[in-house]
Structure 1
């Protein structure tokens, strides 16, 4: 989805939710759940912890929206990403296990997701294996390069947004991406991996 169209889509759904349409938040969360989960998984490297932190992230998102703490001055996903990042930091700082929440606690049905029902088991296995292979390659990158790859390809952030998020110049963000791609190509060649 093009950025401008996606921003309009986000803002319509956010306004609908704030105006009382509870189903609007389900649609919005479904649109970003996999990206947020993948980002968290890249950082914590444990599926259960990533699931839990992803749920906690969206619970905070909903609470913040209900409390009027979201300002429509940027991309919604950038805001969600900051919340997810803070959840991960809190997790590592506290050495705690994430709390498990019910659908009632969350204020939406966490498991009611079309993505869980549509793919066949075989499709899911192939996709999971490819995602795991890519994650393993990305995990081998230096931290600064890995961060830029995740923000760019999993969150569709512009290099300007990446620069703001990471506190570096746009040229530095571009340079990190360039080196990350060079390093990923080398890793793919070394392992003779094929991605369809």
Structure 2
């Protein structure tokens, strides 16, 4: 059986029947998006790796206990687990993530992009740094929605469910985030190319 052609639910069923390769495919299929969303919240590569491992340990445990609910999508469920683990981490440590220019991980290294010449690459890198800095300056609720929408590629419906707010609240937070980013760009005379 070719596991790469199976959907997530079929992979879960195969895994529960003892096919370890099925879980490996499920992990490979979603690890980049889950890890990236964790990293964007915690801003620390080793911490993100630890939380990522904890997320998949919890997923395996939940699957093996038969507690997984097939109503939702696997990725949305896994993203909710990772989000909750990040929130738990911040509650325990009482600190907020910050972007520092010395970070060794860069989300834009993971994302596939077309080839650019050297000048375009430098300009693009500088623009991304500026945008990341502006996003990091947003209030936590607005920053959260921006990260989930633009970096984790989640719909507003998924964001609302994950953060346990109404869809209108999620949309409002995004709207205010964009307004605040525009205001910061104008006030600080930031040039985004």
- Given the two structures, how large is their TM-score scaled by the length of structure 2? 0.68
What's the C-alpha RMSD, in Å, of the aligned pairs? 3.4
- Cα 1:131–1:34 shift into 2, 3 Å: farther
- Cα 1:45–1:182 shift into 2, 3 Å: same
The 2-side partners of 1:128 and 1:22 are apart by: 39
Residues 76-115 of structure 1 mapped to structure 2, 5 A cutoff: 76-95=74-93
Larger C-alpha radius of gyration, 1 or 2? Answer: 2
Gap regions ≥5 residues in structure 2: 1-5, 94-108, 111-120
- Cα 1:149–1:84 shift into 2, 3 Å: same
- Tell me the SS of whatever aligns to 1:72: coil
Residues 161-176 of structure 1 mapped to structure 2, 5 A cutoff: 161-176=158-173
2:137 to 133, 140, 159: 140
Deviation readout 1:117-145 (Å, 9 max, x if unpaired): xxxxxxxx989887665433321222121
The 1-side partners of 2:58 and 2:130 are apart by: 31
Matched residue pairs, number?
A: 165
In structure 2, the residue matched to 1:39 is 37
2:70 to 61, 64, 72: 72
- Cα 1:177–1:156 shift into 2, 3 Å: same
> Quick check: 1:40–1:53 contact (8 Å CA) kept in 2?
yes
Deviation readout 1:150-192 (Å, 9 max, x if unpaired): 2223333322222222232222221222222343455567432
Q: CA deviation at 1:19?
A: 2.4
1:149 to 146, 151, 156: 146
In structure 1, the residue matched to 2:12 is 14
Once structures 1 and 2 are overlaid, which stretch shifts more, 18-27 or 8-17? 8-17
In structure 2, the residue matched to 1:122 is none
- Cα 1:66–1:179 shift into 2, 3 Å: same
Larger RCO (CA within 8 A; separation ≥ 6): 2
1:28 to 14, 26, 29: 26
- Tell me the SS of whatever aligns to 1:191: coil
Q: CA deviation at 1:71?
A: 0.7
Gap regions ≥5 residues in structure 1: 1-7, 96-114, 117-124
> Deviation above 4 Å: which 4+ runs of structure 1?
125-134, 185-189
